Structure 1
Amino acid sequence: MPEANRKREVGRGERVLPGVWRLRLPLPWPGVPHCNAWALAAGDGIVLVDCGMHEPGSLGHLERALAQVNLNLDLVRLLVCTHAHSDHYGQAATIVERTGCELWMHPNHDHMLAAARDPEAAFDRRIEVARQSGVPETPLRRYAEQRRGQSFGIAGLVEPDRPLLPGVEVRTDLGTWQVYETPGHAPSHVCLYQEERRILISGDHLLGRVSLYYDYGYSPDPAGEFLHSLDLVQELDARLCLAGHGRTFTDVQAHIDANRTLVRQRMNRVEEVVVAEPGLTAFEAIPKVYGGEITPFNANWWLSETLAYLDHLEVTGRVRRIGGSPERWEAAA
């Protein structure tokens, strides 16, 4: 069914384990129809992990999902965000105001603050990155006309009451969850792990299917960070993963291996393309790397991913950028 004709989802709730509920919340993005928030029993209330994107009617979807599992928003005693992207943090300000709960999130969330405080400047920055990467002016101008002024998906800015860093414990009826820094997908990304039950709340670090995305431009080597985070999570030996999108899964190691393999394959392909055709822009490399046509849907996704691989290859001394506008790339001498 074409995405334009696909019926939008509504909020849904389901019990995963005693004291753990999945709250499936709709998203407006083609190819990414929903995200997951997680409710964890905690005394006379719940800890809410992630909260969905803010848009018209979004709070109603969250309340509907909670009601389906006999919960409600007033039971939220603590909001924990795995990272500062709109589909995980977007409704935080509304929930904090409504419930009076605390918000815990990693302190390295400038990638969200910059865009939320000045959306136009953030959008202009994205356009300039695309221009420097070789995106032609005509499609770039069309993209800017279509996207400028669109909602950012965040109800309002609310700073965390506590930085979500290693050593911080999230206490629930299932036991204590430990915090692990897992940057790569986003600089602010963390996972939560319950050691006795070997349950991982993975945010967008591991998903039900391999889907790579890097919030490009806020750290020197996001792809390298992601690979290191895979190593860290592998050491935990989780047996159940509660992901930010898609269903729960138990073959955690297989998902780690699949992510690692795809990153290596694509990174090696980027290097092969640059070595074979020195002087390519990142945009020119994309169809040669992914073997598909660039479309309005995949252009930003593939460009961010390709730039992340080029940065990692540069950091590790395998390619180098050629100055100028747009930037071009060649094998390192």
Structure 2
Amino acid sequence: MVATDVTGAEGVVPLRIDTPFLVGAVNVWLIEDEPLTLVDTGANTGTGLLQLRGLLAQHGYGLADVGRIVVTHQHLDHAGLAGPLAQVSGAEVVAFTGMDEYLAGGPASALAEERFDRDLMRHNGVPATTVAGWWAARPDTRGFASEVPAVRTVADGDALTFAGRTLHVHHRPGHSPSDLVLHDRDRGTLIVGDHLLAGHPPVPMIGPSLPGDAPRGRPDPAAPAGDDDAPFTVARRGSALLDLRDSLRRTRELGAAIALTGHGAAITDVAANVDRRLAEHDASAEALLAELRRDGPGTGHELSVRTAPGGRAHPYFGLCGTLGALDQLVDEGHALVADGDGPPRYEAR
């Protein structure tokens, strides 16, 4: 369902763009101000570009009228079309620090991220046959990415100015390393991408850190102490769930009334949504701790399968959720990584 109830979001209009992914349509937000701005783009497909052109025309605009494109995060249903759209319109592209190099890589960046996902699964005990099957069955995401040669980067605390409003930039990693939200303080409105969702909770997706000097976020709390400047690998991954929980708390403190989301309906009680997500994390961690105490230690993959309904967990998304809950348990002192070779095995304290 597209976010149509945006009372209070003056001059911000949702454009519903279909994507080739299971998540379905994405909300591209049209800011009718100067410069005319799109927040997110959809995936790089001809259908998406034609839909966007048609929806803009319904509001009296053409692609050439777009002066700015803001990317809320790196996932292809939000950023994939940025390259062709910028080329057609001449608009500047704005994204978080480190996204200039990431978006310039386009398909190569998408492939590198998928290879990290594959290595993460192997490192945490997913069988090689399962990894190979996932790799063969996945859509080739390189085709839904695009190269963006020129990107204006922003950092936490920056602001985007318009003729009739100012949007304050806040870095909110967790769903991805590059998530940002845009806060209109005067109207009490946030544009949040996938940082907040009204329906399914955002997945804390573990991935490689952004290039350059972009912040890395919270490290895996179970990782052995070592050189903080060592290369970022699956063995030294960040904790997406701990990042997300920190980000949610900071978003709650903004006191915004409305959150315009990347998928589905707008959120009209931001504080309640944040509290619900934090409570869901706590419940998942408690259930996993009970599983560890009842049936003993396990790898991230084994625990993901043991706690999944019917024992069937997505090899990557399920693993990310389980590792997030394990990170929370280790961070809170309820679990640890057992000694031994091979994939990390977690046990209750």
Partner residue, 1:95: 85
AA matched with 2:346: W
Partner residue, 2:243: 225
- In structure 2, C-alpha distance between the alignment counterparts of 1:126 and 1:210, rounded to whole Å: 22
- Displacement of 1:150 in angstroms is 4.8
- In structure 1, C-alpha distance between the alignment counterparts of 2:282 and 2:199, rounded to whole Å: 17
* Aligned counterpart in structure 1 of residue 14 of structure 2, from 16, 22, 37: 22
Partner residue, 2:128: 137
The reply to whether residue 198 of structure 1 matches residue 195 of structure 2 is no
CA contact (8 A) 1:181 1:190 kept: yes
AA matched with 1:280: G
TM-score when normalising by structure 1? 0.85
AA matched with 2:316: N
AA matched with 2:13: W
- In structure 2, C-alpha distance between the alignment counterparts of 1:291 and 1:121, rounded to whole Å: 31
**Is the partner of 2:144 in helix, strand or coil?**
coil
**Is the partner of 2:241 in helix, strand or coil?**
helix
Count of matched residue positions in the alignment of Structure 1 and Structure 2? 317
CA contact (8 A) 2:106 2:146 kept: no
Cα pair distance change 1:166/1:149, threshold 3 Å: closer
Taking the TM superposition and a 5 Å limit, the aligned residue runs for 1:267-286 are 267-286=285-304
Cα pair distance change 1:291/1:203, threshold 3 Å: same
AA matched with 1:303: L
- Write the deviation string for residues 229-282 of structure 1: whole angstroms up to 9, x where unpaired: 111111111111111111223122221111111111112222332343333111
Partner residue, 1:49: 39
Cα pair distance change 1:223/1:121, threshold 3 Å: closer
* Aligned counterpart in structure 1 of residue 341 of structure 2, from 313, 324, 329: 324
Taking the TM superposition and a 5 Å limit, the aligned residue runs for 1:287-298 are 287-294=305-312, 298=314
Cα pair distance change 1:160/1:292, threshold 3 Å: farther
Partner residue, 1:3: none
Identity of aligned residues (%): 26
* Aligned counterpart in structure 1 of residue 108 of structure 2, from 106, 117, 127: 117
CA contact (8 A) 1:287 1:294 kept: yes
- Displacement of 1:326 in angstroms is 2.9
**Is the partner of 1:170 in helix, strand or coil?**
strand
* Aligned counterpart in structure 1 of residue 199 of structure 2, from 209, 224, 232: 209
- Displacement of 1:13 in angstroms is 10
CA contact (8 A) 2:167 2:182 kept: yes
CA contact (8 A) 1:79 1:102 kept: yes
- Higher strand residue share: 1
TM-score when normalising by structure 2? 0.81
- Write the deviation string for residues 135-187 of structure 1: whole angstroms up to 9, x where unpaired: 233333322222374535212243522x2223322223551111111111111
